[in-house]
Amino acid sequence: MGSAHVTWRERSRLVRAVRLWRTRNPRTFRDKVRYKMLRDHRDLVVTFADKAAVRDYVATSVGRQYLPIAYAIVDEPTDLYHAVLPDTFVVKPTHGSGAVIVVSEHAPAEARLPDDPGDWSYRYVRPRYVGRHDIVRIAQGWVAQLYGQGPNREWVYGQVPRRVLVEELLTDADGEIPDDYKFFVFHGKCAYVQLDVGRFGRRTQDFFRPDWEHLPLRGGPPWADPRPEPPPQLAEMIAVAQRLGADTDFVRVDLYCVGDRVVFGELTSFPAGGDSPFDPEYFNHEFGSHWTVPRRYRERRLETPSPGHSLLMTDKTPPPGPTDQGRTGGMATREVAPDVVEKHRRESPVPEDATEVTDEQRREQQQLDHQDDDPDAPGAHQDRHQLADET
């Protein structure tokens, strides 16, 4: 949920130093997520977390035909009173995760929006029970909150402008929320696919390798029965995910398969805040084995947009029609950009794994986020041996 208050532990300079020391030689997937979360302060990571700004990145990397239609992106929630919206749509804050209003005729008849303006959760409601004033009220609660757990943990959300995004509602052939495909991309190569089905019903979760070999891995929800078949656009989805993950050491790319469309969902740099469950636990090590973390993260200049790829922040094109599901701003192509089809034949050099915190890195970390430190925090008067161990 949104964090209106950041605890002293997530602001303490000493706690940060302890966590840097503990994660200096990561081996497992969870450890490497924590390593990255503490050290990767590139602008690219902020772009990935920003649900509005990431649309530019997607348009530049693979083309705006993969973006869902954006009906509105506003700084002030009251501007939504003047937005022209269809009967069904999705509303979400740009600076966090887990807060969504899905307006659909297929929502449960008894579902209603919460009275609490600070509510930070998924809501699935029918159009007749969603007034514009309700959306504005909840959105105002969103932009008033800092999402994440502070500069020592999910710092990135504190760098994202607090805005509100309204996008098209994606549905499957039955009008339900489509399956959610999550691609784990390490150094530009997809190693695993997580499939979540039934977000607002009986949720199931399965893990596969890129060739759709099912893994005996559980991350919480049960496996689907019968076992899901691969989506018809699996090869295209993997190619898109790998292109979107080509500029970083790791990112999880969420995509949807809607009819013959592959649609972008989000990019996640720090899954579960470094606390992803693995059952059995050895998959924590297997996932981590694909990932070589760099000693330090450096900014990398991104490629310029390909010709014909618009970078509009708000897509005003009408929703795809029944005979033109790939239509986007005058483009009727369903082809993947040539550099995506290439599937990264030229491998990026793998950086050296981290074994210690360098003096330069230590100095850089001391300069980050100090404006949020609490000078009266208990951690300012304790050494690391007095702090409770954290897992």
- Domains of the chain (ranges; CATH) run 21-65+175-291+336-345 (3.30.470), 69-169 (no CATH)
Q: What does the mean pLDDT of the chain come to?
A: 80
Q: In sequence order, what are the beta bridge partners of 100?
A: 122
Cβ burial of 42 (10 Å; 0-12, 13-18, 19+) is: middle
Q: Is the pLDDT of residue 110 over 60?
A: yes
What's the pLDDT at 330?
31
Per-residue pLDDT reduced to its tens digit, 18-68: 777 888 899 999 999 999 999 999 999 999 999 999 999 999 999 999 999
What's the pLDDT at 21?
83
pLDDT band (50, 70, 90) for residue 163? very high
pTM higher than 0.85 for the full model?
Answer: no
Per-residue pLDDT reduced to its tens digit, 278-292: 999 999 999 999 999
pLDDT band (50, 70, 90) for residue 363? low
Sign of CA dihedral 31, 34, 36, 38: negative
Share of the chain above pLDDT 90, in %: 63
Residue showing tokens 């105002």:
140
Task: Identify the weakest region by mean pLDDT among 167-171, 230-234, 329-333.
Answer: 329-333
User: Residue 228, SS3?
Assistant: coil
User: Among 234, 274, 271, which residue's Cα sits nearest to residue 251?
Assistant: 271
Helix count and strand count (H, E) for the chain: 9, 12
Contact 199, 254 (CB under 8 A): no
What's the pLDDT at 360?
53
